[in-house]
Amino acid sequence: MDWLRQWFEHPADPLLLAGSYDPSLVLLSFLIAVFSSAIAIHITAQAISVKKKNLRLLMLGSGSIALGGGVWSMHFIGMLAFALCTGVSYQPGLTFLSMIPSIAASWVALDLISKKQLRSLQLLSGGVLVGAGIGTMHYMGMAAMQMSVALRYDLPMFLLSILVAVVLAIIALWVRFGLRRFNLAPHWLTLLSSVVMGAAISGMHYTGMAAARFVPPPGFTAMSDNNDISWQLSLAVAFITLMITGLVVAVNLLFKYRELNQQVKAKEILARDNEEKYRSLISNIPGAAYRCLHNDNWDMLFISDAVELLSGYPPSDFMLPSPQRSWSDLVHPADKATTTQLDLYQGSFTLEYRIRHHDGSWRWILEHGEAIKSDNGDIIWLDGFLMDITTRKQMEQELVLAKDTAEQAAEARAAFLANMSHEIRTPMNAIIGFSDLMLSDDLPPQQHKHLQTIHSAARSLLHLLNDILDSAKLEKGKLELEYTDFSLPALLDTVVSTLWLQARKKQLQLTLELDPAAGEFYYGAPDRLRQVLTNLLGNAIKFTEQGSVRVKVQLSAPSELTFSIVDTGIGISPQRLPYIFDAFTQADASMSRRFGGTGLGTTISKQLVELMGGQISVQSTEDVGSCFSFTVPLQPGVALVQHNTDQALALPALSVLITDDIAQNLELLQLMLERAGHTVVAVADGEQAVAAVQQQHFDVVLMDIQMPVMDGLEACRLIRQWEQAQQRKPLPVIALTASVLDEDKVAAKEAGMQGFASKPVDFAVLTNEIARVLQLNAGPTAIVAAAEPAVLQLLNMTKALQLWGSVAHYQQQLEQFLQQQQPMLTKAAEYLQAQRFDELQKVAHAIKGVSGNLALEQLSKLCGELEQAARQQQHQRADKTLQQIMQNWPQYQAACQQLQQQAGNGAAKTLQQFDDNALAALLTPLHLALQRHELDDNVLKQLEIYSGKHETLILSLLDAVNDFDFAHALAVLEQLQQHINTGQH
């Protein structure tokens, strides 16, 4: 400690020896520091870009030697710049040993500078190490001084020099990173960093010199210093420093050159590899790549070998500088105009054209290219790709041909469907029409039953025909929906009422559940909605042997209804379920034999639901049941006056011209119209119709469209032209055709026809259409003849006989209904008095549904009004309607008694009462006949007039026979025989 303390003990200032600096040498020392810093920073920047770690460390090491040597040289020259009035020499060993801390500090500094980012801790620790290293170098150099005076240090200044060394080192390290934010050029950044670092090194040295104190010994005699020797030594040190630095720079340049040379070789190898890859790729792709000049000849600068496959010519034939042929010479003359439009090649372009192959054939070429432009916008060349698309063009031509063939087939199919519709509907018109006429006559029960079977079978055939036509139009996308306002409860009631009898025949419980939140009126396609419900509900009844069928309607969204048809039928197997909506698909292959049907119902339903913007789904478990659900969007509608098109209207006497080339159709129409009190003139073609209109006045014309000599469309056009020439009012013309295609409706309207009615003729629909066209406010026709009792006018006997087949059968069901429902009226009155409107609504709905199926139309209408009044909780309106129903009830009972008398006056004057033995004797031959799928008319005729304890089973047996369902008929017959044998009722 005494040794250390003596370095900081010195006498007062007057006894100290003062020295001076040579400014030139001080400046030289500073320049040496700046130069060394610049060289070191430059070497460090080069080392950063070197990828090899060993080479990068070697370059940093050489830079450290250059910077360390420069720092040491700066210190030594700075020492020589200091003139002291005594001789000074330096100990060689310690002087050169002081270079080691300088080189170490330089290594730390350059290592930090080479980093991309410098954290605060790194900067602080690096500054301490660099400052300590340079300080150590400085004081080791001072210690190497040999002179007659003693060297001491001022402690505060000594400590300040160490602090200055650390702070300046931190600043020198930071400045390189701090100046980056100014986006300076690299050389300016290096220059400024070098100046700052040089100043920091010089500042460290001269601050340390300021801490030195020179104590002369007793009897010291001052002497002059030799400046020449100082200059010579300074220049020698500077020269040596420059030589060493230059050597370091040369070595680093050699390293850098070696690195660059290796990189160039690596890039050349990579370029060759890439070139080989691209050449391999270009040669293997199904086409040719090219680069050509932008001129009419398309002179090729490069074209791949694949061009020989495209054209039959080698690529050398097209290549500059001496091409044997140009690519443009191969282009088809018809395509020249396309390929020679130079304005097409301003950017990316795509062309299709033909070229002549070497073998003489024409090949289709697809060309993708892009114009490569210079800086001034001029096109230098075209780069692109050529591909043979001859096969694709052939496929396109085949597809076009196939498309044309398919369209022709579709047109032929449409024409076939139209012709089939016309040809089938024409005889069906006669069958259905004349059977309708005969059903209104007074016939024996047996004949009436057979005639009803014929009529039902014809209607079934018509329904099948409509399904086929709908399916064809849906597949072609030609089916258009007709949107209108409709009553949802009325639509549901119609569907359920229509199929109620089928369910009852199979002893199934058919129920309707309507969400109370659902509105009454909606805007949609009611006809198609009714068709979907009828298809799905009909299938549910058909495939359900026992149990129930439910129709549920729920409001799933403000403008969306969900319809669900749930049954307890045979179900659908998991294997068949995904295909249930495919055309001609049923739950099982045997279903069509067992239950009948084509399998089009679900297909059409799905297509119609999707056409209405909805979705349909099915859930089913085999032998448990099925649930078909569909959701359709429906907007709220407005209440409209409902017109019943199912009932013929009583029109005023009209003069009607009917035109048809089929004699049966003319005869049928004439009989229907004349029976309704109209005057009829019949002609066989359009030419006769035009002549008749010009000679006689008519109120309306019923015009067939497809006729020989002159069709109905041309006849209507001629009538309109004649009317304009004569300044007459347009005569109402209604198209009457067996076609139901929308195109025919449009054509009829364009020809000047105001109405449209399809065949087979439905007289109710026809009279409604005539009333609409003539704007007549007509009421329904009388239900029965005026000669019949007035009470029977409460019944729609035509509909009743269509539903029930015979007067006797209908009378029995009507009597049963009146007996069962009379107590319900009493309950309805009680519910109304207690204002239990929900219960009253259920009673009214139940009576309404059954009364509609029994052709009690007036009662059904009154019950509908009672149901609506109960739903709206209108007490006074409900009371008035209920009173009217109760007042009319005795009239319904009287009508039932009158029917009983009428049935007794038929072929069988009295209903026979058989005992069980006689009945069993009748059933034996019938059982044998049914097993052979034959009918015994004599037995069936006697069973029809049976009245007794087995009446219910006999009615079910007769229903099954009328439906030609021999399997079900045999099952009922065997059950009846078992009841007779066991004495059951």
For residue range 416-455, list pLDDT tens digits in order.
Answer: 766 666 667 667 767 777 777 777 666 776 677 677 767 7
pLDDT band of residue 577 (cuts 50, 70, 90) is confident
Tokens of 407: 């369209």
Give the range with max mean pLDDT: 410-414, 905-909, 921-925: 921-925
Sign of the torsion formed by the C-alpha atoms of 199, 201, 207 and 213 = negative
> How far apart are alpha carbons 380 and 370 in whole angstroms?
11
Q: What is the dihedral of CA 687, 690, 693, 694, to 10 degrees?
A: -110
Range with the poorest average pLDDT among 329-338, 746-755, 947-956: 947-956
**pLDDT score at 910:** 35
Residue 730 and residue 752 in contact, taking contact as beta carbons nearer than 8 Å = yes
CA-CA distances (angstroms) from residue 45 to 34, 248, 839?
16, 14, 98
Residue 760 preceded by cis peptide, ω within 30:
yes
Sign of the torsion formed by the C-alpha atoms of 773, 524, 473 and 399 = positive
**pLDDT score at 631:** 95
pLDDT band of residue 697 (cuts 50, 70, 90) is very high
Q: 548-557 and 509-514 as β-strands: parallel, antiparallel, unpaired?
A: parallel
pLDDT band of residue 984 (cuts 50, 70, 90) is low
**pLDDT score at 248:** 67
- The 8-class DSSP code of residue 278 comes to H
pLDDT band of residue 886 (cuts 50, 70, 90) is confident
Return phi, psi of residue 364, to 5°.
-85, 135
**pTM score:** 0.43
The helix or strand, by DSSP H or E, that contains position 83, with its residue range, turns out to be: strand 82-83
Tens-digit pLDDT profile for residues 345-391: 677 888 899 999 999 899 999 998 888 888 887 888 888 889 999 98
**pLDDT score at 563:** 95
Tens-digit pLDDT profile for residues 20-36: 777 887 888 888 878 87
641, pLDDT greater than 60: no
**pLDDT score at 517:** 86
pLDDT band of residue 271 (cuts 50, 70, 90) is confident
**pLDDT score at 173:** 66
**pLDDT score at 752:** 92
Residue 521 and residue 638 in contact, taking contact as beta carbons nearer than 8 Å = yes
- The 8-class DSSP code of residue 301 comes to E
What is the overall mean pLDDT for the chain? Answer: 78
**pLDDT score at 698:** 93
Residue 637 and residue 485 in contact, taking contact as beta carbons nearer than 8 Å = yes
Query: Quick one: how many helices (H) and strands (E) in the chain?
Result: 31, 26
**pLDDT score at 700:** 94
In the predicted model, what is the mean pLDDT of residues 651-673? 84
Burial class, 780, CB count within 10 angstroms (exposed 0-12 / middle 13-18 / buried 19+): middle
Across 916-949, b (16+ Cβ under 10 Å) vs e yields eeebeebbeebbebbeeeeebeebbebbbbbeee
Domain at 649-780, CATH class: alpha beta
In the predicted model, what is the mean pLDDT of residues 599-618? 85
Range with the poorest average pLDDT among 225-239, 276-290, 700-714: 225-239
Across 17-54, b (16+ Cβ under 10 Å) vs e yields bebeebeebbebbbebbbbbbbbbbbbbbbbeebeeee
Tokens of 564: 């669900």
Task: Single out the residue of 352, 372, 353, 350 nearest to residue 293, CA to CA.
Answer: 372
In the predicted model, what is the mean pLDDT of residues 888-899? 81
pLDDT band of residue 908 (cuts 50, 70, 90) is very low
**pLDDT score at 983:** 65
Axis crossing angle, helix 186-210 with helix 155-178, rounded to the nearest 10: 180
> How far apart are alpha carbons 189 and 176 in whole angstroms?
7
Q: How far apart are the first and last CA of the chain?
A: 138
Task: Single out the residue of 921, 926, 920 nearest to residue 976, CA to CA.
Answer: 920
Task: Single out the residue of 334, 385, 383, 384 nearest to residue 356, CA to CA.
Answer: 334
Tokens of 657: 């011209």
Place of tokens 């300046």: 168
> How far apart are alpha carbons 577 and 928 in whole angstroms?
39
- The 8-class DSSP code of residue 370 comes to E
Assign a CATH topology to domain 282-388: Beta-Lactamase (3.30.450)
Q: Output the 3-class SS for 701-729.
A: EEECCCCCCCCHHHHHHHHHHHHHHHCCC
Tens-digit pLDDT profile for residues 780-837: 543 333 334 444 556 777 667 656 656 777 777 788 888 888 888 888 888 888 888 8
Within a 10 A sphere around the Cβ of 687, how many other Cβ atoms? 18
- The 8-class DSSP code of residue 216 comes to P
Burial class, 387, CB count within 10 angstroms (exposed 0-12 / middle 13-18 / buried 19+): middle
CA-CA distances (angstroms) from residue 397 to 366, 388, 492?
16, 16, 53
**Of the options 3.20.20.70, 3.30.565.10, 3.40.50.10330, 3.40.50.20, the CATH number for the domain spanning 480-636:** 3.30.565.10
Tens-digit pLDDT profile for residues 936-971: 666 776 676 665 667 777 877 877 777 666 777 888
551, pLDDT greater than 90: yes
Q: Where are the domains of the chain?
A: 2-8+21-218+238-257, 282-388, 480-636, 649-780, 790-904, 916-982
pLDDT band of residue 75 (cuts 50, 70, 90) is confident
Side-by-side strand order, sheet with 484-487: 484-487, 521-524, 635-636
Domain at 790-904, CATH class: mainly alpha
**pLDDT score at 590:** 47
> How far apart are alpha carbons 918 and 764 in whole angstroms?
45
Answer left, alpha or beta for residue 644, where phi above 0 means left and psi between -120 and 50 means alpha. Answer: beta
> How far apart are alpha carbons 837 and 885 in whole angstroms?
17
Question: Percentage of the chain surpassing pLDDT 90?
Answer: 12
pLDDT band of residue 714 (cuts 50, 70, 90) is very high
CA-CA distances (angstroms) from residue 2 to 8, 737, 944?
10, 136, 148
**pLDDT score at 691:** 93
Place of tokens 């609409």: 772
Instruction: Tell me which amino acid residue 545 is.
Output: E
Instruction: Tell me which amino acid residue 908 is.
Output: A
**Between 186 and 688, whose confidence is greater?**
688
Alpha helices in 378-389 (DSSP H): none
595, pLDDT greater than 60: no
Within a 10 A sphere around the Cβ of 900, how many other Cβ atoms? 16
In the predicted model, what is the mean pLDDT of residues 154-176? 76
Name every residue whose Cβ is closer than 8 Å to that of residue 861 and which is 6 or more positions away in sequence: none
**pLDDT score at 415:** 67
CA-CA distances (angstroms) from residue 197 to 162, 171, 205, 241?
17, 8, 13, 17
Residue 156 preceded by cis peptide, ω within 30:
no
CA-CA distances (angstroms) from residue 817 to 638, 811, 813, 820?
35, 10, 6, 5
Residue 566 and residue 518 in contact, taking contact as beta carbons nearer than 8 Å = no
pLDDT band of residue 688 (cuts 50, 70, 90) is very high
> How far apart are alpha carbons 75 and 30 in whole angstroms?
9
Give the range with max mean pLDDT: 180-189, 728-737, 892-901: 728-737
Task: Single out the residue of 789, 811, 700, 797 nearest to residue 753, CA to CA.
Answer: 700
470, pLDDT greater than 50: yes
**pLDDT score at 593:** 40
pLDDT band of residue 234 (cuts 50, 70, 90) is low
